[in-house]
Chain A
């Protein structure tokens, strides 16, 4: 299980990285923390001819608030996102989710840009990006663009990134005051990719949910928003009947795969359980006034 040979190029800036990626074309892959890429190379599932090391691009890991967003540099480590006071204040759901990413040693190295680009359907960060309507900033030789998280993930390990394009930043629009959150996932072994998981935010006002968001992961090719369920719950007080109807709706809306660890039917079932629990947590936090983003 040794990786195949490759040419190594270190890039010192976004411009240099994108120029190098353009130069080498399809044969090149960017590498930062390498926590998703290196295992695949060790199994020889991927064999890039060139790795462009983008880990030293400055500013590497800024997390800052500006223009109604929290902006996170693509090279930010999972661990930094998990422990950032700003993230904990503004997006406690994101900080909580990062605590579920694999293990400390992986979170110390893995970058959020890397996780988004790897696009594992069971990964936490892509689901959080979808939940929080994140805006993903990219750069290539052709220029910069912004891709909505909802259209960034196109399939399992497949994104809207074009050849030679890298993620530079991810912006999370601030949540409205009075927003509670929940994050639940179920894995057979602690730290493993979840068989299914759900993240939810609920914004409450006068005992009613005025905005509900639910993102599911591990239940299909990409993380998905449970839009039908969100609609069913908006305006309700998340009464048991309303939640049950929403859970039915989201189970019907997803199309999980069978694999070694779980059947599609079980994943469908589990997605509903996780969503129900995440919604319950979110609604309880609304009630407790402890929702994140309620500045």
Chain B
């Protein structure tokens, strides 16, 4: 089986690995690097659970081959806060009860980070449309929107 050398930075840590060309970035992160915070929900780009930041932009890790990430910088949910020191967006999610089962949450957070970086998010409609590529089956989205609205309003503080 053909394997290709790749080198990439994940959450600030450099990794050199050999991968089969067909290995999806989602599986690479979860299986090869043990970063199981990135979740796989549909593997066809609809649910958004696997969303990570790839060179700073949100991307579906299930629609990306790891081999295409040679030289890239990846940020996953593990690269935000830690349980004792949550990132402000994570704090806001917790305060607003913006997660229930938590399965879509990593993808929601990474998407929200990119939305916060790129859009004014001045209205709920804008937040809701921005989130529409991330499916959540538990929360009805109400509290996710609340959490992001509050974080957007507080921007200027560290959201990155």
Tell me, yes or no, whether A189 is within 8 Å of chain B by CB.
Answer: yes
Which of B98-106, B129-137, B151-159 forms contacts with chain A? Answer: B129-137
Q: Which of B21, B64, B118, B130 contacts A38 (CB 8 A)?
A: B64
Tell me, yes or no, whether B90 is within 8 Å of chain A by CB.
Answer: no
Q: Which of B21, B44, B54, B114 contacts A42 (CB 8 A)?
A: B44
Number of interface residues, chain B, beta carbon within 8 A: 34
Tell me, yes or no, whether A102 is within 8 Å of chain B by CB.
Answer: yes
B44 touches A5 (CB 8 A): no
Q: Which of A8, A104, A189, A190 contacts B58 (CB 8 A)?
A: A104
B57 touches A108 (CB 8 A): yes
| Chain B stretch 1-46: residues in CB contact (< 8 A) with chain A | 1-2, 4, 20-22, 24, 27, 43-45
B64 touches A109 (CB 8 A): yes
CB-defined contacts of A20 to chain B, threshold 8 Å: none
Tell me, yes or no, whether A261 is within 8 Å of chain B by CB.
Answer: no
> How far apart are the CA atoms of A41 and B24 in the complex, in Å?
11
Q: Which of A2, A31, A41, A109 contacts B60 (CB 8 A)?
A: A109
Once A104-B118, A105-B58, A105-B60 are accepted as A-B contacts, the answer to whether A1 and B132 lie under 8 Å apart by CB is no
Question: Min CB distance, A240 to chain B, in Å?
Answer: 30
A105 touches B65 (CB 8 A): no
> Which residue of A is nearest B43, CB measured?
A1
| Chain A stretch 75-95: residues in CB contact (< 8 A) with chain B | 79
Question: Min CB distance, B132 to chain A, in Å?
Answer: 4
> Which residue of A is nearest B119, CB measured?
A104
Number of interface residues, chain A, beta carbon within 8 A: 30
A189 touches B2 (CB 8 A): no
Between B24, B51, B60, B130, the greatest number of chain A beta carbons within 10 A of the residue's beta carbon is seen for: B60
B64 touches A34 (CB 8 A): yes
Once A105-B111, A105-B114 are accepted as A-B contacts, the answer to whether A51 and B21 lie under 8 Å apart by CB is yes
CB-defined contacts of A106 to chain B, threshold 8 Å: 45, 60, 63, 133
CB-defined contacts of B118 to chain A, threshold 8 Å: 104
The interface bits of chain A over 6-23 (1 if a CB of B lies within 8 angstroms of the residue's CB, else 0) are: 111000000000000000
CB-defined contacts of A34 to chain B, threshold 8 Å: 63-65, 68
Q: Which of B22, B45, B59 contacts A39 (CB 8 A)?
A: B45
> How far apart are the CA atoms of A1 and B22 in the complex, in Å?
12
The interface bits of chain B over 47-79 (1 if a CB of A lies within 8 angstroms of the residue's CB, else 0) are: 010010010011110111101100000000000
CB-defined contacts of A38 to chain B, threshold 8 Å: 24, 45, 62-65
Once A7-B2, A42-B43, A55-B68 are accepted as A-B contacts, the answer to whether A104 and B130 lie under 8 Å apart by CB is yes
| Chain B stretch 73-109: residues in CB contact (< 8 A) with chain A | none
Once A8-B67, A38-B65 are accepted as A-B contacts, the answer to whether A3 and B22 lie under 8 Å apart by CB is yes
Q: Which of B4, B59, B128 contacts A8 (CB 8 A)?
A: B4
CB-defined contacts of B2 to chain A, threshold 8 Å: 7-8
Tell me, yes or no, whether A53 is within 8 Å of chain B by CB.
Answer: yes
CB-defined contacts of A2 to chain B, threshold 8 Å: 22, 24, 27, 43
Tell me, yes or no, whether B115 is within 8 Å of chain A by CB.
Answer: yes
CB-defined contacts of A55 to chain B, threshold 8 Å: 68
Once A108-B57, A109-B59 are accepted as A-B contacts, the answer to whether A191 and B68 lie under 8 Å apart by CB is no
> Which residue of A is nearest B1, CB measured?
A5
Q: Which of B62, B68, B133 contacts A53 (CB 8 A)?
A: B68
The interface bits of chain A over 47-67 (1 if a CB of B lies within 8 angstroms of the residue's CB, else 0) are: 000010101000000000000
CB-defined contacts of B65 to chain A, threshold 8 Å: 8, 31, 34, 38, 51
Once A53-B68, A103-B48, A104-B130 are accepted as A-B contacts, the answer to whether A6 and B21 lie under 8 Å apart by CB is yes
A43 touches B59 (CB 8 A): no
CB-defined contacts of B64 to chain A, threshold 8 Å: 34, 38, 109
> Which residue of B is nearest A5, CB measured?
B22
Contacts from B to A (Cβ < 8 Å)? 1-2, 4, 20-22, 24, 27, 43-45, 48, 51, 54, 57-60, 62-65, 67-68, 111, 114-115, 118, 128-130, 132-134
Return 18 A-B CB contacts under 8 Å, by A number.
A3-B22, A4-B22, A5-B1, A7-B2, A8-B21, A34-B65, A35-B45, A35-B60, A38-B62, A38-B63, A55-B68, A79-B57, A103-B48, A104-B111, A104-B118, A105-B59, A105-B133, A108-B54
